[in-house]
Amino acid sequence: MTATANTAMSKAEEREARRRAKRLKRFDSPWMNPKLLWGAGILIGILLFGFFGRLLWDPELVFIGSAPLNLPPLGFENLRGDGGSTAHPLGTQSSGRDILALLIVGAPNTLFIGVIASLIGMAIGIVLGFSAGFIGGRTDDVIRVIADVMITIPPLMVLIVFQTSIGEIGIVMMGVLLSGFMWQSPTRLIRAQVLSMRESGYVRMARLSGASTFDIMFKEMLPNLVPYLFGSFIAIATTAIVTAVGLETLGLGPQRVPTLGRVIYEAIDSAALLRNMWWWWGIPTALLATMFIGLLLVNLGLDEVANPKLRKV
Amino acid sequence: MGRRGKQLVLGALGVAVLLALIAIPYRDPMSGDAPIAREDTVIFDLDRSIKNPRNFNWLTPGVKRLHGAHQAMWEPLFVLNYANGELEPWLGLSIESNASHDVWTLVLRQGVEWSDGEAFDADDVEFTARMLMDSDAISAREAIRFKAQVDDVEKIDSHTIQFRLKQPNPGFHIENFGVLNFSSFLVMPEHIWRGQTVGSFDFFPPIGTGPYTFSSATSQRAIWDRDDNWWGARAGFLELPAPKRLVWIETGGQENRAQLLRSNQLDAGQHLALGIFEAIQARNPNVVSWHDGFPYSWTDPCPRQLEINATVEPWDNPAMRKAIAHIVDRQQIIDIVYEGSTVPSKTMFVQYGAMQPFIDAVVDAGYELPTRANLEAAHAIIEDNGYSMGDDGTYVKDGVPLTTRILANTASAETTGTVDLLVEQLQRAGIDARSVPVEDGVFWGEVIPLGDYEMSYSWLSCGSVNEPWASMVRYTNNSMAPIGERAPGYNNTGRWDTDATDRYTAVVNRIGQLSLGDPQIPGLVAEAYRELDAETPFIPLVQAAKVLSFNETHWTGWPRANDFYVHPMHWWNSTHLIIHQLEKADGGP
């Protein structure tokens, strides 16, 4: 009896030890750190909300006049005493747009602007950063000075002037415009990393073996910078989204295509605060805050991947 | 004194200088003078900034009058009071025409003085009239209209002037001197203006005959202080108005305007969306509007419409303009932008009682505008003109999508809201429409008069309130300017100029020569309207319901439906009548 009990206990301990080892192994990978997982989970959740939302909800409700005006969310009342409706569970705004539809279409659009700006900014930053760091000399001087000068120019100010002069723009154009202010940081970061990697053994070896500059830069060195590049990508995507939301909240940017910033602008412009229409500005603001928390967590998580000193023992 | 002592003295001196600098209040050279209590001040709303606060030459482009200049300082000759339909004398005492309506005699009130003490008399009127007639630099609509009508002016005596017209016009006095809408012929002081170049003179500091004199102005506000030596009080014309100071401030958007009204920092507000007004009134019951209950609003005499540039392809084709007219859903504009507080336009005219015979004539002739869209008719016209629907839901012809840009003046949320909705209606009908927000100064100063637009939202048939000619004449080709040159008086800015325009112009010119009340007029209106209906040079939309807010916390006596002594547009030259009716809410002196 005792022996059987002992055997059962040792098996249970063994199982527990194996489970613990498996868990440790799983979290041994720096890519599986909780910040990164939580952040990625939030962002994926927003994207899925947009994707499945379009399948389950009518995206046409984002357009003017597609719903009754000023309805509160289900379970609430507006200033006139009208109650919410199941047809518009998060309420509607004063032009007859459905808030849920605006979130479903607007949130991915807001993220999309950041991704476009970040992708283009990163691509430019990688080319310029590698060229400056690896080639050096005059190339480095020119790129460094341009990046240093450009980084001092406040993007919001320039973009306001630009947008007011060209009129309405679309989502892609907005991303492209923002990318003009998103390449400087990755350029500087990559240049600094390349300068320190340039004299590494594997780079010298590649050079001795006759590899071309392009191959050394993009086949040998680039893979070693992947965590930095991811981190940088998320950081500039965050900056791009903040800038885009800033422009949209001022009434600039895409007009017919909904974004979260545009929804907030319309709420401010129509005095939603005074009219107690909290659902109009509050829900998109909460979603934006969630999006930024997700981006911050991903950024912190990627920092841990790139910098082992930040990992908890 | 030792070294330490010297240091102490120097330190003390430094501190003293610093304190003195802080203690001397910074004085803006353009700020108001003596402080005046809030209870003695009336604060009016300005829905746009003052582009050039040191320029009061109202005749030149971009110079505004609605920041108090023509409400407090420059008085009108007469005021057509919408409340009773009478032409109330002000600086003018009487105006009469000969039997053929081509010679008009104006008699001025005695005892009127400019605020600098100079007498106001026939010399000033004659000088101003000649200045308008002789100058090519003027752009104000009132000045252009006067210049187009008057052939000669002659001073009969110190208070009598005679105007000889180019052609008979029974409505000359109301159109030019009666503040028919917004403003009127404003008399300028000869002793200041003589010898000046009209196009470049800035008339600063300005003077007028009104009970308030200019105190200061910036791009966001203008201050006017009561002139206790005003001629009107001395001559027994009227008592001094109660407010000691009038202030116009730029409020910005509706949210800001609403907060200022709620917190009693604004006494007279511009238009607010109905829901916003209800929200303010729930918090501050002293804020009232024209009506006590729904729809709260006053019907502005300038119905809203969509202007179309008739020189830009494909809108130079009347059929394509007609297609746009079929797409417009007026009821949706009312439901969404005006929250049900107005009615659709049946014709180009404001739907006041006095206009009913002319509206009826147009309706009876079969030209009444529909309330709802007729998309089938629109699609048929567009397809007849060679367009086919593309995969993305936009019409295409020879690979080129059917697009349009509608300019929206950003000064008003009502404007941007309507344009957004029009864009939506056009988009859903297969036209790739876009809204282009344009700043107020650029809108009225450049793009509209120069015809630099495809479509724009405005109220350019504004004019008629008791007869049809004033609105209809604005679409004649009597004084056409080519694209790129200023359309005189903002008339026919879309440059509609076809054979139909010739026929329309001939009929409208006949109407202009008939006396008010002539029984031929309704029939002629319908005859002219046939051309408008066929060619659609512009598309009337809805009657303009304005929810104007008045705050009774500090001042009472505002014009309202239950106290309709004058129309409530406090940015018009007729505001003089309002200011003289204001009383302190606490009953104080």
| Cβ–Cβ contact B493 with A under 8 A | no
Q: Record the tokens describing residue B462, joined without a space.
A: 């504004």
CATH architecture of A32-51+91-310: Orthogonal Bundle (1.10)
* C-alpha distance across the termini of chain B, in Å: 62
Q: B376: which residues sit within 8 A by CB, 6+ positions away?
A: none
pLDDT at B12 over 70: no
* Chain A residues touching B279 at Cβ < 8 A: 79, 271, 274-276
Model confidence at A118, in pLDDT bands (50, 70, 90)? very high
User: Which band of pLDDT confidence, cut at 50, 70 and 90, is reported for residue B41?
Assistant: very high
Q: Tokens 């005046």 label which residue?
A: B36
pLDDT of residue A209: 87
Q: Give the residue from chain B lying closest to A60, CA to CA.
A: B428
Q: Are the C-beta atoms of residues B111 and B235 closer than 8 Å to each other?
A: yes
- At A99 the pLDDT is 97
Residue of A nearest to B261 (CA): A274
What is the least distance, in Å, from the CA of B48 to any CA of chain A? 16
Tokens 């940081």 -> residue: A185
Inter-chain touch B421–A273, beta carbons under 8 Å:
no
Residue A79: list chain B partners with CB under 8 A: 275, 278-279, 282
Residue of B nearest to A69 (CA): B336
Show residues of chain B in contact with A64, CB under 8 Å: 336, 420-421, 424
Look-up: residue for tokens 């920041």? B67
- Positive/negative CA dihedral, A236, A241, A246, A248: positive
Which residues are B103's β-sheet partners? B164
What is the domain-level CATH number for residue B163? 3.90.76.10
Average pLDDT over residues B272-278: 93
A228 close to A114: Cβ distance less than 8 angstroms: no
**Residue B16 binned pLDDT confidence (cut-offs 50, 70, 90):** low
Q: Is A81 on the interface with B (CB under 8 A)?
A: no
Count of CB atoms within 10 A of residue A102's CB?
25
Say if residues B389 and B375 touch (Cβ distance below 8 Å): no
Shortest Cα–Cα distance, B106 to chain A (Å): 48
The mean-pLDDT minimum among A90-99, A151-160, B167-176 falls in A151-160
Q: State whether residue A95 sits within 8 Å of chain B by CB.
A: yes
Does position B411 have pLDDT exceeding 90, yes or no?
no
* pLDDT above 90 (res A23): no
CA distance A275 to A253: 25
Question: Distance between CA atoms of B427 and A176, rounded to whole angstroms?
Answer: 25
Residue in B467, B470, B476 with CA at minimum distance from that of residue B518: B467
Q: How many CB pairs under 8 A join A and B?
A: 75
What are φ and ψ of residue B349, in 5° steps?
-90, 155
- Residue B25: the pLDDT is 44
Any A CB within 8 A of B123 CB: no
Mean pLDDT of A187-199: 89
pLDDT tens digit sequence for B306-322: 999 999 999 999 999 99
Give the count of domains, chain B. 2
CA–CA dist A130, B241 (Å, integer): 76
> Could you tell me which residues come within 8 angstroms of residue A166 by beta carbon, excluding any fewer than 6 positions away?
none
Q: Which of B544, B560, B578 is the last residue of a domain?
A: B544
**Enclosing H/E stretch for A199:** none
Mean pLDDT of B426-444: 90
Instruction: Answer yes or no: do A269 and B413 touch at CB < 8 A.
Output: yes
Which residues contact residue B181 at a Cβ distance below 8 angstroms, ignoring those fewer than 6 apart? B301, B302, B462, B463, B465, B572
**Lookup result for tokens 């969310």:** A73
End-to-end CA distance of chain A: give it in Å, rounded.
Answer: 42
Q: Does B255 touch chain A (CB under 8 A)?
A: yes
Hey, of B262, B271, B276, B287, which one would you mutate to test binding to chain A, going by the most A CBs within 10 A of its CB? B276
Taking an 8 Å cut-off on Cβ atoms, the answer to whether A274 and B282 are in contact is no
Nearest CA in chain A to B433: A256
User: Do the chains contact at A65 and B421, CB–CB below 8 Å?
Assistant: yes
- Which chain B residue is nearest to residue A166, measuring alpha carbons? B436
Residue partners of B11: CB distance under 8 A and separation at least 6? none
Q: Do A251 and B258 touch (CB under 8 A)?
A: no
* Structure tokens that stand for B577 in this block: 């009548």
CB neighbour burial string for B510-548, b if at least 16 within 10 angstroms, e if fewer: ebbebeeeeeebbebbbbbbbbbbebbbbbbbbbbbbbb
Residue B498 has a CB neighbour count (10 Å cut-off) of 16
Mention every residue, 6+ apart, whose C-beta is less than 8 A from residue A241.
Answer: A110, A111, A113, A114, A291, A292, A295
Which helix or strand (DSSP H or E) is residue A168 part of?
A: none
Task: Tell me: pLDDT of B180 over 70.
Answer: yes
CB A175 within 8 A of CB A112: yes
Contacts of B420 in chain A (CB under 8 A): 64, 95, 255
- DSSP-assigned letters across all residues of B2-37: -HHHHHHHHHHHHHHHHHHHHHS----TTS-SS---
User: Has residue B39 been placed in a domain?
Assistant: no
CB B409 within 8 A of CB B443: yes
Q: Is residue B431 part of a domain?
A: yes
Q: Count, in order, helices (H) and strands (E) of chain B.
A: 19, 25
Average pLDDT over residues A135-164: 88
Judged by a CB distance cut-off of 8 A, whether residue A77 touches chain B is: no
Task: Please give the structure tokens belonging to residue A149.
Answer: 């000068």
- Name the amino acid, one letter, at A310: L
User: Cβ separation of B335 and A274 shorter than 8 Å?
Assistant: no
B30 pLDDT higher than 80: no
Secondary structure class of B252 (helix, strand, coil): coil
User: Taking CB atoms and an 8 Å limit, are A70 and B275 in contact across chains?
Assistant: yes
Residue with tokens 């199982």: A15
Residue B412: per-residue pLDDT: 80
Residue B19 has pLDDT above 60, yes or no: no
- Whole-number percent of chain B with pLDDT over 70: 94
């808030």: which residue's tokens? Answer: A99
pLDDT band at B254 (very low <50, low <70, confident <90, very high): confident
Q: Could you tell me the CA-to-CA distances from B460 to A21, B305, B348, B530 in Å, in that order?
A: 80, 8, 10, 19
- Residue A104 and residue B192: Cα distance in Å, rounded? 64
Average pLDDT of chain B, as a whole number: 92
CA dihedral B479, B483, B485, B489 (to 10 degrees): 40
* Pairwise CA distance, residues B328 & A221, whole Å: 61
Q: Residues of B numbered 403-422 whose beta carbons fall under 8 angstroms of chain A's beta carbons: which are they?
A: 405, 413, 417, 420-421
Closest CA to B358 of B537, B514, B198, B563: B514
Q: Are residues B392 and B529 in the same domain?
A: yes
Nearest alpha-carbon partner for B93 in B83, B105, B102: B105
* Residue B365 and residue B498 in one domain: yes
Contacts of A70 in chain B (CB under 8 A): 275
Residue with tokens 């320039």: A158
% of chain B residues with pLDDT over 90? 78
Neighbours of B318 (CB within 10 A): 17
Q: What is the pLDDT of residues B144-153, one digit of tens each?
A: 889 989 999 9
**Residue range B81-86: mean pLDDT, rounded:** 88
- Nearest by CB to A268, from B255, B262, B421: name it: B255
Residue B220 contacts residue B250 (beta carbons within 8 Å): yes
Q: What is the CA radius of gyration of chain B?
A: 26
Q: Report phi then psi at B363, rounded to 5.
A: -65, -45
CB neighbours of residue B232 within 10 Å: 24
Local confidence band at B84 (pLDDT 50, 70, 90 cut-offs):
confident
Residue B573 in any domain: the answer is no
Q: What is the mean pLDDT of residues B417-427?
A: 94
Domain boundary among B163, B193, B223: B193
CB B33 within 8 A of CB B9: no
Q: What is the pLDDT of residue B7?
A: 61
pLDDT band at B480 (very low <50, low <70, confident <90, very high): confident
CB B568 within 8 A of CB B560: yes
Residues A246-299 have pLDDT tens digits of 888 888 888 778 999 999 999 998 889 999 999 999 999 999 999 999 999 998
| Cβ–Cβ gap B279/A274 under 8 Å | yes
Host domain of residue B104:
74-193
Instruction: Provide the H-helix boundaries in B35-138.
Output: 122-134
Residue B453 has pLDDT above 90, yes or no: yes
Residues of chain B positioned with their CB less than 8 A from the CB of A273: 255
More confident of the two residues A38 and B137:
A38
pLDDT at B520: 96
Looking from the CA of A255 toward its CB, the CA atoms found within 13 Å total 20
Which SS3 state, helix, strand or coil, does residue B189 take? Answer: coil
Residue B341 token pair: 């507080």
Over residues B463-489, the mean pLDDT reads 89
User: Span B177-183, mean pLDDT?
Assistant: 92
Q: Is the pLDDT score of B189 beyond 90?
A: yes
Q: Which residue has the higher pLDDT, B120 or A234?
A: B120
Q: Answer for the pair B371, B386: CB distance below 8 angstroms, yes or no.
A: no
Copy the structure tokens of residue A260: 């979260």
Q: What angle do CA A178, A184, A187 make, to 5 degrees?
A: 130
CB contacts of B427 in chain A (<8 Å) are 256
The answer as to whether B217 is a domain residue is no
C-alpha separations of B31 from A30, A136, B63 in Å: 65, 59, 20
- Bridge partners, residue B117, by sequence: none
Residue from B300, B298, B290, B271 nearest B463 by CA: B300
**Option in A79, A94, A167 nearest B273 (CB):** A94
- Tokens representing A195 are 């300068």
pLDDT at A132: 93
Angle at B483 between CA B477 and CA B486, to 5 degrees: 75
Angle at B132 between CA B130 and CA B136, to 5 degrees: 120
What is the phi/psi pair of residue B22, to 5°?
Answer: -70, -40
Please list every residue in chain A whose beta carbon sits closer than 8 Å to the beta carbon of residue B405: 167
Question: CB distance B278–A80 less than 8 Å?
Answer: yes
Among candidate residues B151, B170, B193, the one where a domain is terminated: B193
Phi-psi region of B430 (alpha: psi -120 to 50; beta: other; left: phi over 0): left
How much is the mean pLDDT over chain A? Answer: 88
Nearest CA in chain B to A251: B437
Q: Do B262 and A274 touch (CB under 8 A)?
A: yes
Q: Residue B147 corresponds to which tokens in the numbers above?
A: 């210049």
Mean pLDDT score, A99-126: 94
Which of A96, A255, A275 lies closest to B336 in CB terms?
A96
Q: Is the ipTM beyond the 0.85 threshold?
A: no
- The answer to whether B284 touches B264, Cβ cutoff 8 Å, is yes
Of the ranges A239-253, B197-211, B341-355, B373-387, which one carries the lowest mean pLDDT score? Answer: A239-253
For B544-587, how does the pLDDT look when each residue is reduced to its tens digit (9 = 90+)?
Answer: 999 999 999 999 999 999 999 999 999 999 999 999 999 999 87
Q: Does A255 touch chain B (CB under 8 A)?
A: yes
B330 and B459 part of one domain:
yes
Rg (CA), chain A: 25
Neighbours of A213 (CB within 10 A): 12
CB contact under 8 A, B421 and A64: yes
- Give the span between the Cα atoms of B329 and B90, in whole angstroms: 43
Rounded Cα–Cα distance for residues B137 and B453 (Å): 23
- B552 assigned to some structural domain: no
CA distance B317 to B309: 10
Q: Residue B343 is part of a domain; what is its CATH number?
A: 3.10.105.10
Residue B209: pLDDT over 80: yes
Span B2-23, mean pLDDT? 59
